[in-house]
Amino acid sequence: MRKEQILQWLQTFTDEIERHKDYLTELDAAIGDADHGINMDRGFKKVMSQLPTVADKDIGSILKTVSMTLISSVGGASGPLYGTFFLRASTAVGLKQELTAEDMRGMLQAGLDGVLVRGKAQIGDKTMVDVLSPAVAAFDLAITEGKQIQEAMQQAVASAQEGMKNTIPMLAKKGRASYLGERSVGHQDPGATSCYLMLKSLLASLC
Amino acid sequence: MRKEQILQWLQTFTDEIERHKDYLTELDAAIGDADHGINMDRGFKKVMSQLPTVADKDIGSILKTVSMTLISSVGGASGPLYGTFFLRASTAVGLKQELTAEDMRGMLQAGLDGVLVRGKAQIGDKTMVDVLSPAVAAFDLAITEGKQIQEAMQQAVASAQEGMKNTIPMLAKKGRASYLGERSVGHQDPGATSCYLMLKSLLASLC
Amino acid sequence: MKKLINKPLDFVRESLEGMALAHPDLIHVNYDPAFVYRADAPVHGKVAIISGGGSGHEPMHNGFVGMGMLDAACPGEVFTSPTPDQMLAAAKKVDGGAGILYIVKNYSGDVMNFEMATELAFSEGIRVLNILVDDDVAVKDSLYTQGRRGVGTTVLAEKICGAAAEQGYSLQQVADLCRRVNLNGRSIGMALTSCTVPAKGTPTFELGDREIEMGIGIHGEPGRERTNIKSADEITQILTLSILEDSPYKRVVREWDEHKQEWVDVELIDPVFNKGDRLLAFVNSMGGTPLSELYIVYRKLAEICDQHGLQIVRNLIGPYITSLDMQGCSITLLKLDDEMIRLWDAPVKTANLRWSI
Amino acid sequence: MKKLINKPLDFVRESLEGMALAHPDLIHVNYDPAFVYRADAPVHGKVAIISGGGSGHEPMHNGFVGMGMLDAACPGEVFTSPTPDQMLAAAKKVDGGAGILYIVKNYSGDVMNFEMATELAFSEGIRVLNILVDDDVAVKDSLYTQGRRGVGTTVLAEKICGAAAEQGYSLQQVADLCRRVNLNGRSIGMALTSCTVPAKGTPTFELGDREIEMGIGIHGEPGRERTNIKSADEITQILTLSILEDSPYKRVVREWDEHKQEWVDVELIDPVFNKGDRLLAFVNSMGGTPLSELYIVYRKLAEICDQHGLQIVRNLIGPYITSLDMQGCSITLLKLDDEMIRLWDAPVKTANLRWSI
Ligand SMILES: Nc1ncnc2c1ncn2[C@@H]1O[C@H](COP(=O)(O)OP(=O)(O)O)[C@@H](O)[C@H]1O
Ligand SMILES: Nc1ncnc2c1ncn2[C@@H]1O[C@H](COP(=O)(O)OP(=O)(O)O)[C@@H](O)[C@H]1O
Ligand SMILES: [Mg+2]
Ligand SMILES: [Mg+2]
Ligand SMILES: [Mg+2]
Ligand SMILES: [Mg+2]
């Protein structure tokens, strides 16, 4: 995966967030506080305004800028979580200008680990982890099986989508939605949804 | 007019107020603060609970009790106005047990004068004065023409009703309704309406 | 109607009971007739200040009873003037021998009831003076109305006169000061939503989803104009300019003359604001508007005053003279002099205004 | 949506600008990153106390910055946790050399952001401790949730710890005190109406004309139960008993260990209230409920505490931790000891809490 594709990914994700801003916020209104789309949109708009200053640097620097921008402009739960995802991802890839399949496996795994440490959520808690975790596992397996990056990512996105849908019947145990108890059942998790969009955008940038 | 009739008058008026409580309050909602029916109802219910203690006294004492009870339980604009009406009326009739036509003329005139001094309203200001003033004048004239009390009071009530209707097109210049300016036009004044009910009740008690 | 109340008819009494339970160190409550008075009343040798009016404007007036402000407050039913017997009983309770000042908001009911109370107090040998607050510039054509309504300046007058009384001003001095505060204070309010009177149970007036009422009264009396919702800056601009551009306001009020022992008509004229004046700026919530929005209003108000060469040297921001649950705000500007500033800064210890003690 | 705002996106900044203009003697405002800090910061040798959270709960926390309470407050977007860079910048600005205590309400966003800020501060050589407030008994099954939310006790902890810091307590002492206040405080709220977030423009949740939500969170998070409207006495009874009958609450929280230089899990258990306990009773408006109704709630609360042999020795009544324009209230009961009483009574001078100075 080349640096231009990384930049493309971030651009596509920003566009997707903008397109789904109201939808994400509505999902959050049902089981949270009605700001997830607004938060993500604010954060990634800011990211886009910062990127030109580092576009000629290495991928690690780019992802670090994404991370720092998200951390300082999103707030809420998704700010530190997405921020930590990109921070760990950045550390994992370091000074590279292009990523191998192995690099990408490391990057995604590191990002997921960061989210787990920061948020202490487990699979089944109805959070973004329910998307990220199966997606990273699927990518991992596909690469181990010798698949190409693009195909592996296709499988990751398929798992992500399944994971996102799976959050619907779940009872939330982390984040604001957890306060709803039984009433959280039947709604799709907003953070899981934005996370699915992130992976879908990543796939798109590979094509 | 006998003392029993005076008591009957107060009872009838109290009943009328209760029956028209919501109506009076609605009239006040349109051009005031939506409490005239509530105020009058509170005051006259209190009057009714006080009257037994003075029912065997003279008419002056009865009316004085009405006055004091209204003054201390109605508040707002109508409290001091009705209170002053009955206070002056009480002073005018003194220790009597029965009122002649002349006594009644004096009583009503004194009550009206009290309202004028207290409230400084003039005819045409869209207040209870627009009912009380023509009614007292009509009673006065009828008595001067030698009519019987009951007939004179019939004419007074007719004038009162006309006066009440006349408040509809008026522009309020006193009381809360005055703040409405042009917007007060087209609504019947609540105090004028309760005042008409008072005179109508007086007439009923004579029959 | 959804409110934290029990029976609507018990609203005022139960709220007073809660106050009495909450602040036994500051106030006591008499229930029949109803008035709230300083726990340490009467304060001997001090002029006593009493105000009152319909309930529903809390914390005014009950929340301002205490050291450095009111000696007693007489709460009426919701939006209904209290009665003369309340005012008289309060006067008797707090009279420290130096006389009583009744601070009266200019509404026909309040004026008439306080006038009766003044006559009653006089007939019982209690010295009483009577000052009207009539500061609401929303009321135009005051010659043809009851005159301007008493609103935000009342709170400021109670604080300033309360401090003066505490410092030993005579009855006449406190009354003169109160009149001066009133003449130098101007207010105007607006509503985003109607209030709902508990006993009525439905909103006093209807405002559309995109409508606001400029110049609203604190009982939901209509204002100057019903318009479409505007930005906070535009609203603040309109309100502030209504105050600043208001021409001198002339009217005749009735005051009790202690020497003549009768009511006399007094002609009063408000001075206008001039460049260089020092102001107290008071941004008030009508009850349902939160603090965050008041600061947005204050921000623009400060800018406009600055543009006009007016210097805000003191301010008060919060819900002080409310209209039940109404959403909206009012702005009061009071032109200060050194004496008023000194008295404003003086210690005050009441349930809802407290500093320097 | 009708509000006194300009563009929804400017809501937080403009409200801060208004605050800065209104209280230059008390606070200064930094805009990028956003935080409010004491005008006289840093106070050398004093532990600095910083709190923060989403905006929309005014006066908390900005209105509590000043002598005897907070050194700085970090406002996020409406109902959105502030970010670590705000918290770090605030810490740098107010650090008087004796360390920083972050008081954090237990919401996933706040917790994660303050944790990051703590790590950042540590890495820059600033001493920071971190205490969670998690007092909302409406949250059941806390093992399966984020744990109890931080609500009313936060205000009380800020006041009490602020006084302690002012009196020279060490960082560890202030942190221990804060943990103790949190363990002894319990809250629960209810909503009559939803709030409306400016950026969204429509109510966060729908409540029918006769419906209320018991156990509401300060961001409009749903509570325990949606029921029909009840009388103030019934509502107060339900809320109060939820607090009094709550069993000891056990949970594990993550605190920063200065010596180990890492996060450690700490198990905490709330004590229950017992006959004879002395309480601080805090009746809070959610923003749109006026003072008069709060006193009706307080009246019943005092009666129930009395019946249970609990002694209310201090109280606080008003809008202190709000949820924008939401109508409703919350009740917080804090079990006091002599030290807490002394610190509660100590002077405080902030925009929205002030006494004895
Ligand atoms: N502890 C956690 N671990 C992982 N994800 C979480 C956690 N808490 C919340 N989230 C995610 O964050 C999303 C909400 O983000 P957002 O609405 O932006 O923040 P907030 O809840 O502070 O308003 C949830 O839908 C969920 O996916
Ligand atoms: N100055 C006045 N003189 C005569 N009547 C008046 C005056 N002011 C008000 N009123 C009468 O009082 C009525 C309103 O009474 P009410 O609603 O009980 O008191 P409030 O206006 O204080 O709420 C008006 O309809 C009007 O008839
Ligand atoms: Mg959210
Ligand atoms: Mg009325
Ligand atoms: Mg009234
Ligand atoms: Mg949020």
Closest by CA position to B21, among listed B34, B8, B7: B34
What pLDDT does D264 receive? 95
Are C60 and C118 part of one and the same domain?
yes
pLDDT for residue D224? 81
> Could you tell me if the CB of C108 is within 6 A of ligand 2?
yes
Mean pLDDT along residues D308-328: 98
The model's pLDDT over B21-34, given as tens digits with 9 standing for 90+, comes to 999 999 998 998 88
The DSSP letter of residue C289 is S
Ligand 3 centroid, distance to C292 Cα (angstroms): 21
pLDDT of residue D162: 98
Contact criterion met (CB < 8 Å) for C199 and B35: yes
Average pLDDT value over all residues in chain A: 95
Assess whether C161 and C216 both reside in one domain. no
- Closest to B68 measured CA to CA, from C106, C127, C92, C116: C116
Domain coordinates in residue numbering, chain A: 3-206
CA-to-CA distance for C3 and C201, rounded, in angstroms?
10
Q: Both ends of chain D: CA-CA distance in Å?
A: 40
CA angle D83, D89, D94 (to 5 degrees): 125
Domain B3-206 has CATH 3.30.70.260: no
D350 φ, ψ (degrees, to nearest 5) = -130, 175
What would the two tokens of residue D83 be? 């970010």
Sort D23 into a burial class: Cβ within 10 Å, 0-12 / 13-18 / 19+. Answer: buried
Buried b (16+ CB within 10 A) or exposed e, A6-31: bbbbbbbbbebbeebbebbbebbbbb
Q: Are residues D126 and D226 in the same domain?
A: no
Q: What kind and span of H or E run contains B127?
A: none
Give the pLDDT score at D142.
62
Residue B106 has pLDDT above 70, yes or no: yes
One domain for residues C79 and C221:
no
Interchain contact C/D (3 or more Cβ pairs less than 8 Å) = yes
Q: Ligand 2: which residue has its CA nearest to atom 9?
A: B175
Q: What is the pLDDT of residue B34?
A: 84
Q: Per-residue pLDDT averaged across D63-77, rounded?
A: 97
Residue with the larger pLDDT of the pair D142 and A108: A108
Catalytic residue, chosen from D23, D28, D57, D61, is: D57
Site to substitute for ligand 1 among D108, D218, D254, most atoms within 8 A of C-beta: D108
If you search the block for the tokens 């009316």, which residue do you land on? B63
C114-172, pLDDT tens digit by residue? 999 998 899 899 999 999 999 999 987 666 678 999 999 999 999 999 999 999 999 99
Residues C272-291, mean pLDDT to the nearest whole number: 97
Q: Which amino acid is at D307?
A: Q
How would DSSP label each residue in D211-236?
Answer: EEEET--TTS---SEEEE---HHHHH
Kindly report, residue by residue over D255-270, the tens digit of the pLDDT. 999 999 999 999 999 9
- The DSSP symbol for C189 reads E
- Statement to judge: residues C299 and C166 lie in one domain: no
Assign D18 a pLDDT band (cuts: 50, 70, 90).
Answer: very high
Which tokens is C207 given? 């405002």
What's chain C's average pLDDT?
96
- Do you find a cis peptide bond into C59, omega within 30 degrees of 0? yes
Q: What's the whole-number mean pLDDT along residues D182-203?
A: 95
Query: Is the Cβ pair C354, D357 closer than 8 Å?
Result: no
Cα(A86)–Cα(B61) distance, rounded to whole angstroms?
A: 89
* Model pLDDT, residue C224: 81
Cα–Cα separations (whole angstroms), residue B137 to B123, B133, B154, B155, D279 = 12, 6, 13, 10, 67
Q: Is residue C17 part of a domain?
A: yes
Same domain, D141 and D25: yes
Q: Computed from CA positions of residues B23, B27, B28, B34, in that sequence, does the dihedral angle turn out positive or negative? A: positive
Alpha carbon distances (Å) from D261 to B168, C133, D127, D256, D258:
81, 64, 10, 7, 5
For residues B130 and B165, give the distance between their C-alpha atoms in angstroms, rounded to a whole number.
9
CA separation for the pair A56, C230 (Å, rounded): 46
Number of Cβ within 10 Å of residue D337's Cβ equals 12
DSSP string, B130-142: HHHHHHHHHHHHH
Q: Is A81 a pocket residue for ligand 1 (Cβ < 6 Å)?
A: yes
Query: Which listed residue (C57, C61, C259, C308) is catalytic?
Result: C57
- The yes-or-no answer on residue D28 being catalytic is no
Identify the residue whose C-alpha is closest to ligand 1 atom 1.
Answer: A119
Question: Using CA atoms in the order C72, C7, C78, D284, what is the torsion angle rounded to 10 degrees?
Answer: 70
Among the partner residues C81, C85, C144, nearest to B76 by beta-carbon distance: C81
CA dist A179 and C289 (Å) reads: 28
- The two tokens of residue C134 are 């009539």
Q: Is the separation of the CB atoms in D268 and D250 below 8 Å?
A: yes
C-beta of A77 in contact with ligand 1 (< 6 A): yes
Q: State residue B180's pLDDT score.
A: 83
Element (H, E) at C32: none
**Sign of the C-alpha dihedral, residues A48, A53, A54, A57?**
positive
Give the total number of structural domains in chain D.
2
Distance CA C234, CA C240 (A): 10
Q: What is the mean pLDDT of residues C320-329?
A: 98
Per-residue pLDDT tens digits for C220-274 = 887 788 999 999 999 999 999 999 999 999 999 999 999 999 999 999 999 999 9
Task: Give Cα separations from D270 to B144, C89, D132, D263, D325 (angstroms).
Answer: 87, 50, 13, 21, 32
Strand partners, C212: C227
Q: Clarify whether residues C115 and C192 are in a common domain.
A: no
List the one residue out of C27, C12, C73 whose CA is nearest residue C350: C27
**Coil, helix or strand at residue C332:** strand
Q: How many angstroms separate the CA atoms of D91 and C188, rounded?
A: 42
Q: Do residues C207 and C322 both lie within one domain?
A: yes
Better-predicted residue by pLDDT, D96 or C200: D96
Q: Is there a single domain that holds both residue D36 and residue D150?
A: yes
pLDDT tens digits, residue range A47-101?
999 999 999 999 999 999 999 999 999 988 999 999 999 999 999 999 999 999 9
The predicted pLDDT at position A180 comes to: 83
Mutate to test the pocket of ligand 2, among B118, B174, B179 (most ligand atoms within 8 A of CB): B174
pLDDT digits (tens, 9 = 90+) for C326-340: 999 999 999 999 999
Q: Whose CA is nearest to atom 2 of ligand 2?
A: B119
Residue D341 resides in a domain:
no
The whole-number pLDDT of residue B116 equals: 96
Examine the pLDDT at C173 and tell me if it is beyond 90. yes
Across the interface, whether the CB atoms of A71 and D54 are under 8 A apart is answered no
- Is the residue at D346 inside a domain? no
Is C343 inside a domain boundary? Answer: no
CATH code at position C304: 3.30.1180.20
| Residue at token pair 């056990």 | D250
D17: contact with C, CB 8 A cutoff: yes
Tell whether C161 and C295 lie within a shared domain. Answer: no
Q: Which of B34, B72, B179 sits opposite C85 (nearest CB)?
A: B72
In this structure, are D289 and D160 located in the same domain? no
Taking the C-alpha atoms of residue C60 and residue A184, their distance in angstroms, rounded to an integer, is: 44
Q: What is the pLDDT of residue B183?
A: 86
* Mean pLDDT score, C39-50: 98
Q: In whole angstroms, give the CA distance from residue D87 to residue D256.
A: 16
Burial D124-144 (b: 16+ CB within 10 A, else e): eebbbbbbbbbbbbbbeebee
Whether residue D143 is predicted with pLDDT greater than 70 in this model: the reply is no
DSSP letter (8 states) at residue A75: -
Of C176, C219, C189, which Cα lies nearest the Cα of C340?
C176
How many whole angstroms separate alpha carbon D72 and alpha carbon D274? Answer: 35
Q: Would D56 be classed as within a structural domain?
A: yes
- Residues from chain C that touch B178, judged by Cβ atoms under 8 A, are 144-146
Q: Are residues D149 and D218 in the same domain?
A: no
Asked if B71 lies within 8 A of C84 by C-beta distance, the reply is yes
Length of chain C: 357
- Take residue B87 and report the two structure tokens written for it: 């206070």
Mean pLDDT over the full length of chain D: 96
Decide if pLDDT at B80 tops 70. Answer: yes
Cα A75 versus chain centre, distance: 15
Residue of D nearest to C316 (CA): D22
Under DSSP, is residue C329 helix (H, G, I), strand (E, B) or coil? strand
Question: Mean pLDDT throughout A129-135?
Answer: 98
Q: Which domain holds residue D85?
A: 11-184+248-271
- Does residue D262 form part of some domain? yes
When pLDDT is averaged across residues D6-13 and rounded to a whole number, the result is 96
pLDDT at A182: 85
Instruction: State whether residue A178 is helix, strand or coil.
Output: helix
Nearest to B152 by CA among B144, B143, B160, B161: B143
Residue B36, SS3? helix
**Which residue in C23, C61, C219, C308 is the catalytic one?**
C219
Q: Is residue D6 part of a domain?
A: no
Residue C252: CB atoms within 10 Å: 10
Computed over every residue of chain B, the mean pLDDT equals 95
pLDDT over 90 at B56, yes or no: yes
Residues 6+ apart with CB under 8 A from C200: B25, B29, B34, B35, B38
Pick from A75, A84, A176: CB nearest D82: A75
